[in-house]
């Protein structure tokens, strides 16, 4: 339910507004790519994938995006949807005791993540 509400809000945003950086703050475009990066981190940790280490995700967090590249918004929407499906898929293979396990490279458990 929460995802459906968030998805509806994100897809209803005026496309021109996603590129604006009010008062020098992050744009909606940057916020969505930030969400994607940490979803990818979560999926990576759930799959115990060693391809990308913690540093990879930290470097790619808050990416310097070209706000003149208007295709980045559609790419972001597509990747956000894709990572949502991947996250659900990988979570369906997990047991509830995962929530109390510590996330590799972090000082918190999967419940917090």
Note the pLDDT of residue 27: 93
Note the pLDDT of residue 91: 93
Contact 14, 20 (CB under 8 A): no
Question: Could you count the other beta carbons within 10 Å of the beta carbon of residue 77?
Answer: 17
Burial of 29 (0-12, 13-18, 19+ CB in 10 A): buried
Among 42, 24, 29, CA closest to 110: 42
pLDDT < 70: residue spans in the chain:
1-5
- Three-state DSSP at 15 gives coil
Q: How far is CA 93 from CA 18, 43, 55, 88, in A?
A: 35, 12, 26, 9
Note the pLDDT of residue 97: 93
Q: How far apart are CA 19 and CA 74, in angstroms?
A: 12
Contact 92, 37 (CB under 8 A): no
């Amino acid at each position: 339910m929460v995802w459906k509400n968030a998805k509806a809000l994100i897809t209803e945003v005026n496309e021109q507004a996603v590129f604006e950086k009010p008062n020098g703050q992050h744009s909606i475009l940057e916020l969505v790519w930030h969400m994607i990066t940490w979803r990818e981190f979560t999926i990576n940790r759930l799959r115990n994938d060693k391809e990308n280490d913690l540093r990879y995700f930290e470097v790619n967090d808050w990416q310097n995006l070209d706000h003149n590249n208007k295709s980045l918004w559609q790419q972001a929407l597509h990747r956000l949807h894709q990572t949502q499906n991947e996250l659900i898929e990988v979570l369906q293979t997990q047991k509830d005791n995962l929530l109390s396990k510590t996330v590799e490279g972090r000082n918190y458990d999967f419940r917090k993540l």
